[in-house]
Chain A
Amino acid sequence: MFAVPFSVIPALVLSNVLNSKLPGMKFYRAVYFMPSIAAVVGISLVWQWLYNATIGYINYFITLGIEFWNNLFNLAVVDPKIQWVSDEKTALFAVIIIAAWQTMGFNTVLFLAGLQNIPGELYEAATVDGAGPWDKFWGITIPLLAPTTFYVVSTTTIQAMQVFEQVFILMNPAEGPNNSTITLVLYLYRSGFQNFKQGYASAIAWVLFIVIFGLTLIQFQRQRQSSIYES
């Protein structure tokens, strides 16, 4: 669930950049969309090797970055050599990165659609009134994008609550070190289909359902309000 800000904030920035009518934007949009359509199982396998503590690219990039930094400022920062998936402290964060990476492009496209719905005259009027780009972003884009933002945040949250494949593939065992990456759906799977306590699993499903249903209801209500406001 902590994946939400990591996914939504870059998506907001990217969509604003993509909204500039420069050539090649369709290409970038397609590239950003790629992670959200690939099989989660396959993606998680790829990331598992990227996270590998000794030969993985992520630690390699960190090492390169630290070396560069040390050379630049003559420091002696120690390379942490993070054990991404087997360390209790970073395991959840590793899952968050994958989830954010995967949903970011999808959210970017959603934001982009919201941005294109904002009438251009507002920006022109603001420019005439002497507003800078920063004022326009906070004064026009953010408030008018609020319905889209709400939709994006709530769908990403609903998705994040149902994370299963990433932890199941990435972690061994799937609960991660010291249960640090257990998710509701994983818990449901373990109790319902490995310990065959299906009643208990159904109870977990109900808890999840109530939360998701609540979020969806709020989302519907917000949407109705905003459409009344628009008309």
Chain B
Amino acid sequence: MKIQSYRLIRWINNFILYFILTFFALVMIFPFLYMLATSFKTPADTFRYPPHMLPRNAATIAVTGYDEPLPLYKVDVDGQPKEYALAKSNIKVGTYAPADNLTSTVERYLTEVKPTGGAMNQQKVSVNGKEEKLFDVDVDGKIIPMILISQTTVGEFIDPQNPENKVFQNVRLSEPVEDFGAHPENYTEVVELNNMARALTNTALVTILVVLGQLVTSVVGGYAFARLRFPGRDTVFVFYLGTVMIPFVMLIVPLYQLMVLIGWTDRLAALIIPWMFTAYGTFLMRQHFITFPKEIEEAALLDGASRLQILTNILIPASVPALATQATFTFLYAWNSFFWTLVIINVGNEKNHVLTLALNVLRGRASDTPNLILAGAAIAIVPPLIVFILGQRFFVESVASSGVKG
């Protein structure tokens, strides 16, 4: 009995834990899902209230006797909800009643009803002190002169299985049937509309070069600081590492003026070259190389290997996880950077735009089509997510260790 209740308590406990976790997971993931779902919608669909998640299309159906597929609507047939196709819209219907009995009304198409006494010489009757025109209305084969009380526009809805079954009702008040319909063409449209293709290649180019550059400089620099002996090495290292303490905002004005000086404003080089050096990465590689056993290197040196050969043949293959971690970090940073690009790249010069800048332009240009904006956002967000999923193991663990060791 006791074990039973212990189990029950543990089960409830776990249930609460998972509930909390799932709730927060939903909060975290919802904006991403919203972004992806909306990026596949039509513009009209995005402005609907209440909002719905999945992209929808108005459903259509092919009916025999009609060339084009007809839109489907929900209609009420003898009290039963059915899905009928709209065959004809804009049919004018009048409500008619005899002048002496206004409550007994009939509904007829305006085209079926002829004016009493002919169109040129239409008879009139006085109802409640007002002159009303008389029309010949056919009721069960008998022609009765009646007056027009009101007039509406309806649509003709037919049963798709049996087009003989017809229902008439107001089109605007009818609810269309919708089915799931994604619009991947939003992506091609946004790429064409906004020079996004160019921005995407630029971003990829910048990111790859920055990642490669950082890897090369931090491997070479880290090795020099770890193994080579030269005067003032440790002082230089402390100064180099000290630059980690300087936040980026401090650098932005001097860096901008430097770029002006060497004429790199509005050039992609300004996005690449200054970012190829990383004190933090060099520090990490140095720490990594220092732990590497010296004996292996000494043996290689005795065998006549050069320093470069040692680096490429022994050290780099042995430090793939560390390099992968650094590459993931750098990739995310370079791909997502915005402030520096905003400062250095001219907004008007679209051929040097990177994705984040293009998104900023798109935000102003397509503010009435959220589907396009969010498609653009998805183009910017999905590649880092993929890199994150691939490099997750390295990434999350290294963040964790940075928090413990500092």
Residues of A in contact with B (beta carbons under 8 Å apart): 10, 13-14, 17-18, 20, 22, 24, 28-35, 37-43, 45-50, 54-57, 60, 101, 104-106, 109-114, 117, 148, 151-152, 158, 162, 164-165, 168-169, 184-185, 188-189, 192-193, 198, 201-202, 205-206, 208-209, 212-213, 216, 219-220, 223
Which residues between 34 and 48 of chain B lie within 8 Å of chain A, taking CB atoms?
A: 34-35, 38, 46-48
A42 CB to nearest chain B CB (Å): 4
B98 within 8 Å of A (CB atoms): no
Per CB-CB distance, the 10 closest pairs between chain A and chain B, nearest first, are A113-B400, A110-B403, A42-B377, A39-B336, A42-B381, A42-B380, A41-B356, A38-B381, A31-B25, A45-B377
Residues of B contacting A30 with CB < 8 Å?
389, 392, 396
Considering only CB atoms, which chain A residue lies closest to B335 in the complex? A39
CB contact between A17 and one of B21, B47, B253, B257 (< 8 Å): that residue: B21
B79 sits at the interface (CB 8 A)? no
Which of chain B's residues has its CB closest to A112's CB?
Answer: B400
A113 CA / B397 CA spacing, docked (Å): 9
Chain A min CB distance to B9 (Å): 12
Q: Which residues of A contact B249 (CB under 8 A)?
A: 162, 184-185, 188, 205, 208-209
Point out the residues of chain A lying under 8 angstroms from B378, CB to CB: 42
Question: Are B339 and A189 in contact (CB-based, < 8 A)?
Answer: yes
Query: In the complex, A162→B17 CA distance in Å?
Result: 34
5 more A-B residue pairs beyond the given contacts A104-B24, A114-B404, with a C-beta to C-beta distance below 8 A: A30-B392, A39-B355, A45-B377, A57-B30, A114-B403
The answer for the CA separation of A112 and B47 in the assembled complex, in Å, is 41
- What's the minimum C-beta distance from B237 to chain A, rounded to whole angstroms? 18
Contact A55 B51 (CB under 8 A): yes
- Contact of B343 with A by CB under 8 A: yes
Residue from the list A34, A37, A60, A162 in contact with B50, Cβ < 8 A: A60
A34-B403 contact given A41-B380, A193-B343, CB 8 Å threshold: no
Closest CB in chain A relative to B53 CB, distance in Å: 9
Neighbour of B253 across the interface among A28, A31, A41, A205, CB < 8 A: A205
| B28 A165 Cβ-Cβ under 8 A | no
B370 in the interface (beta carbon within 8 A): yes
Complex CA gap A208/B32 in Å reads: 32
Which residues of the other chain, B, contact A32 by a CB distance below 8 angstroms? 24-25, 28
Q: Which residue of the partner chain, among A18, A22, A39, A202, contacts B384 with CB atoms under 8 Å?
A: A39
Say whether, besides A22-B17, A158-B247, A34 and B385 are in contact (CB < 8 Å).
yes
Closest B residue by C-beta to A152? B403
Write the nearest CB–CB distance from B39 to chain A, whole angstroms. 10
The minimal Cβ–Cβ distance linking A225 to chain B, given in whole angstroms, is 12
Docked Cα-Cα span, A57 to B30, in Å, equals: 10
- Chain A nearest CB from B67 CB (Å) reads 36
- The residue in chain B whose Cβ has the minimal distance to the Cβ of A110 is B403
Q: Could you list 11 A-B pairs, sorted by A, with CB under 8 Å?
A: A18-B21, A31-B25, A38-B385, A41-B338, A42-B359, A43-B31, A46-B35, A49-B370, A106-B399, A158-B247, A212-B247
Cβ-defined partner of A33 (8 Å) among B51, B360, B377, B396: B396
Q: Which of A48, A113, A201 contacts B401 (CB 8 A)?
A: A113
CB distance from B101 to the nearest CB of A (A): 46
B373 within 8 A of A: yes
Residues of B within 8 A of A114 (CB): 403-404
Instruction: Assess the B28–A101 pair: CB atoms within 8 A.
Output: yes
CA distance A37 to B336 in the complex (A): 9
B29/A31 in contact, CB under 8 A:
yes
Task: Report the separation of the CA atoms of residues A20 and B15 in the bound assembly, to the nearest whole angstrom.
Answer: 12
Task: Judge whether B264 is part of the interface by a CB distance below 8 angstroms.
Answer: no
B277 at interface, CB cutoff 8 A: no
Residues of A within 8 A of B324 (CB): none
Residues of B within 8 A of A20 (CB): 17
CB-nearest residue of chain B to A34: B28
Q: Is the CB of A29 within 8 A of B356?
A: no
* B-chain residues with CB within 8 Å of residue A56 when the two chains form the complex: 51
A151 to B245, Cβ gap below 8 A? no
Does residue B246 face the partner (Cβ distance < 8 Å to A)? yes
B14 beta carbon closer than 8 Å to chain A: yes
Given the known inter-chain contacts A34-B388, A55-B49, A188-B252, please indicate yes or no for A17 contacting B20, CB distance below 8 A: yes
Interface residues of B in 221-248 (CB under 8 A from A): 245-248
